[in-house]
Structure 1
Amino acid sequence: MERQLYAMHNQVRFVTDQPIDEAEWEELVRFFHYVDRQWSRFDKQSEVSRLNRLRIGDTLSVSLPLARLLARATRYFEQTERYFSPFLLAQQQANGYRQSFPFTQAVAYEEVAPPEIAPFIIEGCDVTRVGGGFIDLGGIGKGAAAMIAAQRLRKSWSRGLIEAGGDVIVWSEEEPWNITITHPETEQRVADMQLRQGAIATSNRVYRSWKTDGQTHHHLLDGRTGRPTRSPILQVTASAPQLYEAEVMTKLAFQMTETERQEKLFRWFPKGRLLILDTAGEWRSEQKGVSETWTG
């Protein structure tokens, strides 16, 4: 049984072994409406925007889901030595990303370096600003929303899939799910991943890109510099036990060399796997202790 709704600027698809009853569906719709209202950096009245307007020393009480997400994102920021950063809003805006997609042209300008320490302290639902930096939850927000919805559905549905703009989370007590990976430029099928439990996230430099003064920009920023990543990688698909982890892994992969991924990324996420497409058209499969050419 499949149902869909539009949220977070993506079509969100729900597939379950039995139909989702109307009461449960209405709860899911209400939750994603909450996410759209409160987690968006484009809505000036959202909780995220209100947090970004805090001055140092000010505190704001936010909803429990957002507080938990911000705490998790902050842990990843610190764990990954700032390779992953949820605090790059000013840098994204300087890069030209100041409106929701789709758009093809923008104006870029110079911006200050990103924060080196987390700008917020989270205590329960109270968030206090202690430094500079502005929240842009981006992909990890989308992944968190899908995770929360999956946790709710798993209580009553033994087999399910949630897909949201390249992010997929699955669970099954029987046969695994087949997840198809496509080429970012041709959209042709290039791989199939079999998963019974877990998540897959895909990021590339093609879908969310635009031009400023004739130069192509994209949304994948280096957490340490705040500048667009310069990488031979065109697309990364990551699989991990949790969608949060897969989302973070894709962002790290663009910033690291193959050696750095083995030394750092797979130390932080030892159960993760990567399928990487470079600009020369070569595919590589990577996991802890293994990096090899992938031929399908």
Structure 2
Amino acid sequence: MESLTLHMMNTEFYIEVPSSSDSWKEHVTNWLSYVANEWSRFIPNNELDQINQLPIGKTLKINPLLYDCLKKAHEYYKKTEGLFSPYLKRQIESQGYVQSFPFKVGKQIKQNYEFENPIDKNPIDFLDNHEILKIANQPIDLGGFAKGYAVEHIKKWLQDQGFPYGIVDGGGDMTLWSNGEKEWTIGIADPFNGESIGRIKIQNGAIATSSRVYRSWIYQNEKKHHILNGQTGKVAKTNVLQATVVTDSLYQCEVSTKLCFLMDEQQLNQWFEQSRWRVARFIVNEDETTKWIKTGDGKNV
């Protein structure tokens, strides 16, 4: 087995495949470095910032992979009727989240635009040849979705290289595949003390965890966290403290974990069933009660 550990995007990435060669490591490192530098909302004049600075009514040809990532995020934005949204850069900054984690106190920045309702059904139009058309001024923050896309991209590339099984882990958000030879046991950590409170046995699929505890801060004397309601632009109000989701892809995981904080249990069960997603979720509530909930056939757990 060969493994690679990298620290990028304030995240520790761990990749492991059955190999006696390390020839794959350069490709993976270069890809993660590209995503970290070009898709971050914290770096001025990168590819994402060029989209955010684009005037309304103008078009821009962008990197095919960024186009694909943004289009996928936009499709989930439409599918969830805006609850999940990649267009919340302005709103998350207004909550004091203007710098990379970790930090304890949010910072205020001068807004050079009028704050407006965050919802416009089509902020961007996706044209042919990897061109986009700016429809509305709703700046993009790809956040965890970009990390999930990066991890899924690595998995697909490694599979194309012929590796029969492997794991790509981006700070606990991971994708795993196997031809039946390999099964992983993945632990679920308590959001407060880090101790194990659950285990998942898995051969193929993806796992992601989102928590109101870790990525939280104080801003204007209020406790804030990173999970926003895409329909309102406001911080999610919920009794759910942490959600771990197991499903088929990290794209679905990223969306599903967000929805755990934005819908009640019955609504979310119905949404998953209607969407025909196979999802198992492990919920930790504020009163420290925990619960496994499955929709679909649950074969990925």
Q: Considering the TM-score relative to the shorter chain, is it more than 0.5? A: yes
Give the TM-score taking structure 2 as reference length.
Answer: 0.92
- The aligned residue for residue 294 of structure 1 is none
- The aligned residue for residue 10 of structure 1 is 11
Q: Which amino acid aligns with 1:52?
A: N
Q: Does 1:136 align with 2:137?
A: no
What is the deviation of 1:64?
0.8
CA contact (8 A) 2:119 2:232 kept: no
CA contact (8 A) 1:239 1:272 kept: yes
Q: Does 1:75 align with 2:81?
A: no
CA contact (8 A) 1:272 1:287 kept: yes
Cα pair distance change 1:125/1:40, threshold 3 Å: same
CA contact (8 A) 1:88 1:223 kept: yes
Alignment deviations for residues 180-219 of structure 1 (CA, whole Å, 9 cap, x no partner): 1111101001111111111001000011111013321000
CA contact (8 A) 1:266 1:287 kept: no
Displacement over 6 Å in runs of 4+? none
- The aligned residue for residue 50 of structure 1 is 50
CA contact (8 A) 2:272 2:278 kept: no
Cα pair distance change 1:87/1:20, threshold 3 Å: farther
Q: What is the DSSP-based 3-state SS (H/G/I as helix, E as strand, rest coil) of the residue aligned with 2:267?
A: helix
Aligned-residue identity in percent: 31
Q: What is the DSSP-based 3-state SS (H/G/I as helix, E as strand, rest coil) of the residue aligned with 2:255?
A: helix
CA contact (8 A) 2:247 2:277 kept: no
Cα pair distance change 1:241/1:100, threshold 3 Å: same
* Distance in structure 2 (CA, Å) of the matches to 1:261 and 1:274: 11
Deviates more, 1:102-111 or 1:189-198: 102-111
- Structure 2 counterpart of 1:153, from 154, 158, 162: 158
* Distance in structure 1 (CA, Å) of the matches to 2:277 and 2:158: 27
Q: Does 1:278 align with 2:285?
A: yes
Give the TM-score taking structure 1 as reference length.
Answer: 0.93
Deviates more, 1:75-84 or 1:124-133: 124-133
* Distance in structure 1 (CA, Å) of the matches to 2:238 and 2:108: 20
Q: Does 1:172 align with 2:182?
A: no
* Distance in structure 2 (CA, Å) of the matches to 1:20 and 1:238: 33
Q: Which amino acid aligns with 2:169?
A: E
- The aligned residue for residue 293 of structure 1 is none
RMSD between aligned residues: 1.7
The count of residues paired between Structure 1 and Structure 2 equals 289
Q: Which runs of 5+ in 1 are unaligned?
A: 291-296
Q: Which runs of 5+ in 2 are unaligned?
A: none
- The aligned residue for residue 118 of structure 1 is 122
What is the deviation of 1:263?
2.0
Cα pair distance change 1:248/1:14, threshold 3 Å: same
**Equivalent runs, 1:1-296 vs 2, <5 Å:** 1-22=2-23, 24-107=24-107, 111-123=115-127, 124-155=129-160, 156-173=162-179, 174-288=181-295
Cα pair distance change 1:266/1:144, threshold 3 Å: same
* Distance in structure 1 (CA, Å) of the matches to 2:35 and 2:276: 27
CA contact (8 A) 2:13 2:171 kept: yes
